[in-house]
Amino acid sequence: MNWTSFNQSAKRAWTVMTWKLILVAALVFVLVLGQMGARAQLGLDPCCAIISAGLNTISGLLKNVVAKPLGQIQQIQQQAANFQQQVIYPTSAINSARGLAGQMQGQLRQMTQVFRLPTASATLPTPQQLEQALLSRNPQAVGQVSQGYAKVYGTVVAPADAPQPIRDLVDMTDAEAQAALKKALELDALADVELAAADQINQQIQTAAPGSAPILEAQASAWLVRANAYTQSAMAELIRVRSIDLANSGAQLKFSATDVNNLRNNTGQVLGRGAQ
Amino acid sequence: MTNRFFKKTTLALGAIFLLTLMPVAANAGVADIISLLTTITSTLQNGVGQVLSEIQSINTTVRNFEQQVVWPVTLINQTRAEVSQMRALFSSLASQIQSIPTNSATLVNPSQLEQLLRSQRAGSLNQINASYTQVYQALPPANQATVMQRNLIDVDDAFALGALKTATVSDQASQQMLTVADGLEQQAAQSAPGSASILTAQAQAANLQNQAMLQKLLAAELRQEAARLAHANALRKQSADANRDLRNNMQQILSR
């Protein structure tokens, strides 16, 4: 009885345990495999259908909403690029303009050289000395002008040799004539500086791009404004020279009138004495 | 009996466990995906599509503005043609006017000098001195004039000759400058809006050079005017000196 009942109890326990093990194994199988890949493998999961529909919608949107406008944008950009390269900034026209700058520089340098040909013509030593200073194009030679001028045209008349108004007139005339000669010397030197600046700008134009050319244009314009100002200053000097010349003519008439008046008074006095 | 009950209980618990756990995980994944797909779709439609459409519209407007308003090809071509026409019409006319001879001397020596002065060739500068002397005479020898007079005559001649030579040089430079201007105009007729700025810069540089040359001429004119003034003043000084000498001589005569 004991052995038999023990044996039966053991069999029952084994059966229960076997069932439990099978159940646990089944659960583990379902939990593990079911969670990992069952749906994907079967392809029937509603989740896959949703993803598929969603991806199709996205693909359609990418095609119509993104790719189509992008394609049109690309086309517009391409057209704009072609327009800029063929109509606005054609390389051939740019190179041609640069080439002209090179040709022009040769001509302009030739002109500069022509203006450097000697024009000195005095033959006597004293005028030669003055002329050399005046045509030197060296602003430092301005100091030599007065000395050379005095040697050729003389100095102010001594007080004993002329009345004060005449001496004033002579001094003023000398002053203006010398100032004009000095201004001419300065102007020659300034013109040389401007020619050098123009040459340098020309050199830069030969490698300029359409974007950098306006900068050079602005620079050349600034130099031109400066040159105009120098010309204006020289014109003012020219007007002064001519004004002094005119003033001298007027003064000459005034002196003559005074002289005639003095002569009349003196004659009157002489005749008066004679009558007495 | 107990065993069967135990089996049933275990199966029921297992089924509840599966039913409870599995659907919860599945429902959460689908909702997230739907939400994500909706967000992406909405972003593509509103965020990307709309902006791209606006960019496309802006690009089209800019392109049309550039091609129809700023740089219309027809107008560019028309302007080029006009430049060519103007060049043909006015530059040749100006050239014809400029080439009208102004020589007016009738005698041999003046004609020769005039020809040299209007030659527009700097190479003839050396011949001007001799021709000038033939017309205006040479400097009087030392025994025929005072030092002061000879200096005055020499410096007057020098300033006159200097100015005449500068004028001849300037004529040649003017001709070259006209060639440069013509080249620029010719190039302008073939230029594009983008290359025109290079030509403008060149024209400005040439303009500067022209101004410098004008200043050289002006300097010569200033010297000439100054010399005229100085000459008249020198005569006043000579006159004062002559008066002084006369006074001194008279006093000497009267004192005898």
Give the tens place of pLDDT for each residue, A199-221: 999 999 999 999 999 999 999 99
Residues contacting residue A178 through CB under 8 Å, at least 6 positions apart: A145, A146, A149, B226
* 3-state SS, residue A136: coil
Mean pLDDT of chain A: 87
pLDDT, mean of residues A51-62: 85
pLDDT, mean of residues A21-47: 56
CA distance B106 to chain A (A): 26
Angle at CA of residue B207, ends B205 and B208, nearest 5°:
65
Q: How many CB pairs under 8 A join A and B?
A: 373
CA distances from A252 to A29, A246, A259, B120 (A): 136, 10, 10, 41
- Flag if B205 and A205 touch (Cβ within 8 Å): yes
The pLDDT confidence band at residue B227, using thresholds 50, 70 and 90, is very high
Distance, CA of B84 to chain centre: 20
pLDDT, one tens digit per residue, over A242-255 is 999 999 999 988 99
> Would you tell me which residues 181-220 of chain A have a C-beta closer than 8 angstroms to some C-beta of chain B?
181, 183-185, 187-188, 190-192, 194-195, 197-198, 201-202, 205, 208, 210, 213-214, 216-217, 220
> Could you tell me if B158 lies within 8 Å of chain A, comparing CB atoms?
yes
pTM: 0.78
Of the ranges A9-13, A236-240, B19-23, which one carries the lowest mean pLDDT score?
A: B19-23
Distance CA B204, CA B201 (A): 5
Distance CA B130, CA B56 (A): 80
pLDDT at position A40 is 47
Chain A residues with beta carbon closer than 8 angstroms to that of B191:
93, 96-97
pLDDT at position A13 is 61
pLDDT, one tens digit per residue, over B131-165 is 999 999 999 999 999 999 999 999 999 999 999 99
Distance CA B239, CA B252 (A): 20
pLDDT at position B17 is 64
pLDDT at position A18 is 66
pLDDT, mean of residues A142-163: 94
Distance CA A270, CA A149 (A): 45
pLDDT, mean of residues A251-271: 91
Q: Which range in A62-71, B43-52, B62-71 is most confidently predicted, on average pLDDT? A: B62-71
Report which of A191, A113, A150 is spatially closest to residue B220, judged by C-alpha positions. A191
Looking from the CA of B251 toward its CB, the CA atoms found within 13 Å total 6
pLDDT at position B64 is 92
Mean pLDDT of chain B: 89
pLDDT at position B159 is 95
Chain A residues with beta carbon closer than 8 angstroms to that of B152:
152-153
Distance CA A270, CA A213 (A): 84
CA distance A128 to chain B (A): 8
Chain A residues with beta carbon closer than 8 angstroms to that of B3:
12, 15-16
User: Which amino acid type is present at position B157?
Assistant: D
- Flag if B194 and A188 touch (Cβ within 8 Å): no
Distance CA A129, CA A151 (A): 9
- Flag if B45 and A61 touch (Cβ within 8 Å): yes
- Flag if A104 and B202 touch (Cβ within 8 Å): yes
Asked whether residue A44 carries a pLDDT value surpassing 60, the answer given is: no
Residues counted in chain B: 256
- Flag if B208 and A228 touch (Cβ within 8 Å): no
Chain A residues with beta carbon closer than 8 angstroms to that of B238:
154
Q: Is the dihedral of CA B186, B192, B193, B197 positive or negative?
A: negative
CA distance B16 to chain A (A): 11
> Could you tell me if B215 lies within 8 Å of chain A, comparing CB atoms?
yes
Chain A residues with beta carbon closer than 8 angstroms to that of B145:
none
pLDDT at position B228 is 95
pLDDT, mean of residues A255-274: 90
Residue of A nearest to B223 (CA): A181
The pLDDT confidence band at residue A54, using thresholds 50, 70 and 90, is confident
CA distance B219 to chain A (A): 4
For residue B158, count other CB atoms closer than 10 A to its CB. Answer: 25
pLDDT at position B232 is 95
Strands (E), B29-138: none
Asked whether residue A73 carries a pLDDT value surpassing 60, the answer given is: yes
pLDDT at position A1 is 45
Question: Is B209:A191 a contact under the CB 8 Å cutoff?
Answer: no
Residue of A nearest to B248 (CA): A161
Residues contacting residue A48 through CB under 8 Å, at least 6 positions apart: A39, A40
The pLDDT confidence band at residue A58, using thresholds 50, 70 and 90, is confident
pLDDT at position A2 is 57
pLDDT above 90 covers a percentage of chain A that reads: 68
Which of B62, B83, B208, B216 is most worth mutating to test chain A (most A CB atoms within 10 A of its CB)? B208
Look at B14 and A258; give whichever has higher pLDDT: A258
Q: Break chain B down into helix, strand, coil percent, rounded to 5.
A: 85, 0, 15
Distance, CA of A87 to chain centre: 25
Asked whether residue A182 carries a pLDDT value surpassing 60, the answer given is: yes
- Flag if A119 and B62 touch (Cβ within 8 Å): no
